[in-house]
Amino acid sequence: MTRFDGEMSPAFEIVEPAQWRAPVIFNSPHSGSTYPDEFLAASRIDLPTLRRSEDSFMDELIGHLSERGFPTVRVNFPRSYVDVNREPYELDPRMFSGRLPSFANTRSMRVAGGLGTIPRVVGDGQEIYRERLLVDDALGRIETLYKPYHRALRRLINKVHQMFGTVVLVDCHSMPSVGVSRDEPRRPDVVIGDRYGTSCTPLLPDRVEETMTGLGYSIGRNKPYAGGFITEHYGNPASGLHAVQLELNRAIYMDERRRERSARFTQVASDFGVLADVLATTIPFGDLGPFQAAAE
């Protein structure tokens, strides 16, 4: 059974504000950069290559928001080890020795691409493991890392919902500046994902776009990223739960090759503060609760 004490403790961190300003949660599920020794030993690729899958420094870009009145969530283990932005059991049977449980989802598009709950490849398609993994190892990672994170996130969402009557979850990610396909057009600075209008009130992505455009960022909607499991699973506007995914182009805040913060890093972090303030002061949260949403 995989344990997560010592080298990678805590597995994730939730920082609640001393004074709450609004029911807006900022979440960074893919910026974890603490790699277990046994994971590195089992990998056929080196650490710099594994780190290409990280949303590097995204947790730092939003970390200061707890001081401004907003709860923040960060995951410390890497997504290449366990990806919390997947269903709990999206598993590729080709990766494991032993039989997967019958309830495992082995046929999703994400599994087919090698990017299940326990990824088979890193973002650029390179295979991670030298040998097949034991099924019990995969299930252990899910029990000790994936499930506790989602239980804690759900508790936080429920707490905010009880306090304010509604919740806005801003799921923060970063994307490579250039896509794998040469046919893909230049990526914008920010891609807003709302599962094509199903995960939140339209007012939320509209307000994000207005704010970020005003700060000088170019914006895309739902392509190439419409939102993953977290946005889809926790976004339920009819219940007053609104989730939006933000994908930030890494080139605007870091040197992608050296994996270092760029000169613009501080400004981008400040702009997240501006966005949080705008959401807190201009979103009519009283109109986003379950009864109002259900009546639309």
Look at residue 2 in the predicted model and tell me its pLDDT.
38
For residue 269, is pLDDT > 70?
Answer: yes
For residue 4, is pLDDT > 80?
Answer: no
Count other C-beta atoms under 10 Å from residue 132's C-beta: 12
**pLDDT band at residue 121 using 50, 70 and 90 as cut-offs:** very high
Look at residue 123 in the predicted model and tell me its pLDDT.
82
Nearest to 62 by CA among 12, 26, 24, 10: 26
Q: Which domains does the chain have, with CATH numbers?
A: 12-282 (3.40.630.40)
Look at residue 56 in the predicted model and tell me its pLDDT.
96
- DSSP tag of 237: G
Pairing of strands 219-221, 241-249: unpaired
Higher per-residue pLDDT: 289 or 27:
27
Mean of per-residue pLDDT scores for the chain: 94
For residue 274, is pLDDT > 90?
Answer: yes
Look at residue 9 in the predicted model and tell me its pLDDT.
74
Percent of the chain with pLDDT strictly greater than 70: 94
Look at residue 296 in the predicted model and tell me its pLDDT.
40
Look at residue 3 in the predicted model and tell me its pLDDT.
41
| For range 51-67, the mean pLDDT | 97
Q: Is 222 in contact with 194 (CB distance < 8 Å)? A: yes
For residue 227, is pLDDT > 90?
Answer: yes
For residue 7, is pLDDT > 70?
Answer: no
3-state DSSP call for residue 170?
strand
Task: Give the separation between CA 219 and CA 217, rounded to whole angstroms.
Answer: 6
Indicate the range of 156-170, 181-195, 210-224, 249-263 predicted with least confidence: 181-195
For residue 291, is pLDDT > 80?
Answer: no
For residue 278, is pLDDT > 70?
Answer: yes
182 conformational bin, left if phi > 0, alpha if psi -120 to 50, beta if neither? alpha
Q: What's the whole-model pTM score?
A: 0.94
* Residues composing the chain: 296
Structure confidence by residue, pLDDT tens digits, 204-217: 999 999 999 999 99
Residue 52, judged by CB atoms within 10 A of its CB (0-12, 13-18, 19+), counts as middle
